Amino acid sequence: MLSLFLLFLLCYTLVQLPPVQTFLVHKITNSLSKSLGAPVKIESVRLKFFKTATLDGVLIGDQSNDTLFYAKEIDANLSLFSFLDKEIYFDEITLSSGQIHLTRAKDEQDFNYQYIVDYFSSGDSSSASPWNIDLRKIRIYDTHVAITDQHSDQDIHLDIGIFSTYLNKLDLNEKVLDIEQIGLGDSYLVAYTEANQDTSTQSTAISFPNSGWSIRIKQIRLDENDLVYQTRGVTTRPYLNTSDLDVKGLSLFVDDFIWAKDILSAQLTQTSFADHSGFSLDQMTGSLEITPEHIYINDFNLTTPKSHLQNTTDLTFKQFDDLRFFADSVKIKTSFQQSEVDLADLKLLIPDFQETPYLNTG
Residue 258 inside a domain? The answer is no
Q: How many C-beta atoms surround the C-beta of residue 185 within 10 A?
A: 15
pLDDT of 241 > 70? The answer is yes
Residue 228 inside a domain? The answer is no
Contact 290, 263 (CB under 8 A): yes
Residue 354 inside a domain? The answer is no
Tell me, what DSSP letter sits at residue 204?
P
Kindly report which listed range (72-86, 108-122, 175-189, 245-259) carries the lowest average pLDDT score. Answer: 72-86
Question: Is residue 3 very low, low, confident or very high in pLDDT (cuts 50, 70, 90)?
Answer: low
How far CA 94 is from CA of 58, 145, 326, in Å, comes to: 13, 16, 48
Q: What is the pLDDT of residues 25-40, one digit of tens each?
A: 777 788 778 888 889 9
Residue 166 inside a domain? The answer is no
Residue 211 inside a domain? The answer is no
Question: Is residue 199 very low, low, confident or very high in pLDDT (cuts 50, 70, 90)?
Answer: low
Amino acid residing at 76: A
Question: Is residue 235 very low, low, confident or very high in pLDDT (cuts 50, 70, 90)?
Answer: confident
According to the model, what pLDDT value does residue 230 have?
A: 94
Q: Give the span between the Cα atoms of 305 and 281, in whole angstroms.
A: 7
Residue 126 inside a domain? The answer is yes
Average pLDDT over residues 154-176: 91
Q: Give the span between the Cα atoms of 346 and 339, in whole angstroms.
A: 14
Range(s) of the domain holding residue 125? 1-136
Kindly report which listed range (40-44, 156-160, 313-317) carries the lowest average pLDDT score. Answer: 40-44
Handedness of CA 151, 212, 243, 205 (dihedral sign): positive
How would you label 332-358 residue by residue, b for 16+ Cβ within 10 Å and e otherwise?
eeeeeeeeeeeebbbbbeeeebeeeee
Residue 330 inside a domain? The answer is no
Tell me, what DSSP letter sits at residue 342?
-
pLDDT of 125 > 50? The answer is no
According to the model, what pLDDT value does residue 194 have?
A: 87
Total domains in the chain come to 1
Residue 8 inside a domain? The answer is yes
Q: How much is the mean pLDDT over the chain? A: 85
